[in-house]
Amino acid sequence: MKTVNDIYKRKADRPTKILQFGEGNFLRAFVDYLVDVMNEKCILDGSIAICQPIENGLCDLINAQDGIYTLMLRGIENGKAIEKTRIIESVKKCINPYRDFNAFLEIAHQKDLKIIISNTTEAGIAFCENDNFQDAPPSSYPAKLTRFLYERYSFFNGSDGSTVYVLPVELIDNNGTELYRCVKEYAKKWNLPDNFFLWLQKCSFSNTLVDRIVTGYPKKDAEAIFEKLDYTDKLLDTAEPFFFWAIEDKNGLKEAFPAHKSGLNAVFCEDISGYKMRKVRILNGAHTVSVLGAYLSGYDIVRDMMNDPDFSDFIIAVLKDEVIPYIPLPAEEKEAFAASVLERFNNPFIDHRLLDISLNSVSKYKARCLPSLLDNIKSGIFPKKLFFGLGCLIEFYNGSFDKNGRFTGIRNGKDYEIRDNKEILNFFNEINNDPQKVTKALSNVDLWGCDLTEINGASEFVEKICSTIKTDGIKAAMEHLK
């Protein structure tokens, strides 16, 4: 069988306008897809040069396929299951700076380059004291970026036309602001000239928020897909149809990179915090408030949970009554996003395991659900559904350490692993056989940042939920929500 680059050839040789740090599944299914669409609609006319951020990666494979690969979008859209394929040709080449550092620096000499995008994991935006200017390359992403920017500044003698827009998509708070801080710290450590700092101030580092579930190479059904496509593709990537990118607009960014004209859901705004709140509280919050109870009920994946009317109705109700009213965005935007979340949870092509979502549930509840709970209390409303989710969490953590040091609970006679920080697991190990377990859990300020027993009725209600789960199960505990 032929390969994808045997059959498809690049239609145009476009100028390099984007440098991308990261060659993994997410960027190829998100940014590279977006750029491909923008080129098709004649609103960009640019290609991407990728820098492989770590020593081992997909660089050789990308170049062997001439940067061409297949993206398959699979999921629910407007109530219907869809499966679409698209050949992506926005990537011109990939460079491994560990092999050819000069080739990496030469990208800085491209006059058409205007955008730098990155996804180097949440830990990627960090300052490493051991990185030096003469390293080829430095180890951290911010150090590589600083070295690259200084090369561009030097080559173009600091001209205004050589400045760039930097768009990190790493999932940390204020990703652009934090990356800019790291770059300045390296420039200071390396004693770079004052004029470089002035040039750097003219570059723009935007905070961004991305949202798309990318499932990568489909090992389980790749052969069947290749039979259908009639070619093979070692870079085949899969993702859900949903696409959202909120970008902080600075210094004319949307004119240089008009993603909002692509037809995809890319939004430029002065402040992305409302969109972050929407994603964290609706999408992530719906997961956290529901999946632990669903797992204890016997379900293993999100889709099966959603096929149970009791759980799907619970998620709809908690979002409608206790989450959406407290997000400061237009009602139609919030409701449309919530509807899309329900579709995404029902994706027939993604087996999203509840135990995977359960990782670090305490900190997730604190970040995703507790702000909504406290907003309800401030408004004089007792949010039973959010407290129900908290009760499910306490019972899910009803485990103990086994001989191998794993913290495990029991469901239907079988062990399951509870994964969280050691301090949190130690705390639950200490209180799980204590008659005052619920009170001690709710009053632990280290867990929640506040004493939840101070909320009138909280201890009694959560105690009722936990007690009913133990004696009669999750479904019986749901009766207390009526």
Question: From CA 273, how far away is CA 198, in angstroms rounded?
Answer: 28
Q: Print the SS3 string covering the chain.
A: CCEHHHHCCCCCCCCEEEEEECCCHHHHHCHHHHHHHHHHCCCCCCEEEEECCCCCCCHHHHHHCCCCEEEEEEEEECCEEEEEEEEECCEEEEECCCCCHHHHHHHHHCCCCCEEEECCCCCCCCCCCCCCCCCCCCCCHHHHHHHHHHHHHHHCCCCHHHCCEEEECCCCCCHHHHHHHHHHHHHHHCCCCHHHHHHHHHCEECCEEEECCECCCCHHHHHHHHHHHCCECCCCEEECCCCEEEEECCCCHHHHCCHHHCCCCEEEECCCHHHHHHHHHHHHHHHHHHHHHHHHCCCCEHHHHHCCHHHHHHHHHHHHHHHHHHCCCCHHHHHHHHHHHHHHHCCCCCCCEHHHHCCCHHHHHHHHCHHHHHHHHHCCCCCHHHHHHHHHHHHHCCCEECCCCCEEEEECCEEEECCCCHHHHHHHHHHCCCCCHHHHHHCCHHHHCCCHHHCCCHHHHHHHHHHHHHHHCHHHHHHHHC
Q: What is the pLDDT of residues 316-327, one digit of tens each?
A: 999 999 999 999
Q: Which residue has the tokens 């209390």?
A: 377
pLDDT(368) > 90: yes
Question: From CA 10, how far away is CA 8, in angstroms rounded?
Answer: 7
What pLDDT, on a 0 to 100 scale, did the predictor assign at position 122? 67
As a CATH number, domain 4-269 is 3.40.50.720
pLDDT(78) > 90: no
Report the pLDDT averaged over residues 187-194: 98
This prediction's pTM:
0.88
What pLDDT, on a 0 to 100 scale, did the predictor assign at position 472? 97
With cut-offs at 50, 70 and 90, classify the pLDDT of residue 203: very high
What pLDDT, on a 0 to 100 scale, did the predictor assign at position 173? 87
* Spans of all domains in the chain: 4-269, 273-481
pLDDT(123) > 80: no
Q: What is the pLDDT of residues 279-320, one digit of tens each?
A: 999 999 999 999 999 999 999 999 999 999 999 999 999 999
CA 417 centroid distance within chain: 24
What pLDDT, on a 0 to 100 scale, did the predictor assign at position 121? 75
What pLDDT, on a 0 to 100 scale, did the predictor assign at position 455? 98
What pLDDT, on a 0 to 100 scale, did the predictor assign at position 113? 98
- What mean pLDDT value characterizes the chain? 96
What pLDDT, on a 0 to 100 scale, did the predictor assign at position 124? 85
Q: In b/e form, how buried is each residue of 336-349, taking b as 16+ CB within 10 angstroms?
A: ebbebbebbbbbeb
Q: Which residues, other chains included, contact 208 with Cβ-Cβ below 8 Å and sequence gap of 6+?
A: 167, 168, 169, 175, 176, 245, 246, 247, 248, 272
Report the pLDDT averaged over residues 12-17: 96
Domain 273-481 homologous superfamily, CATH = N-(1-d-carboxylethyl)-l-norvaline Dehydrogenase; domain 2 (1.10.1040.10)
Per the structure block, which two tokens stand in for 445? 């300020």
What pLDDT, on a 0 to 100 scale, did the predictor assign at position 171? 86
Question: From CA 367, how far away is CA 50, in angstroms rounded?
Answer: 33
Q: What is the pLDDT of residues 427-471, one digit of tens each?
A: 999 999 999 999 999 999 999 999 999 999 999 999 999 999 999
Report the pLDDT averaged over residues 45-64: 96
Question: From CA 333, how far away is CA 83, in angstroms rounded?
Answer: 26
Percentage of the chain exceeding pLDDT 90: 96
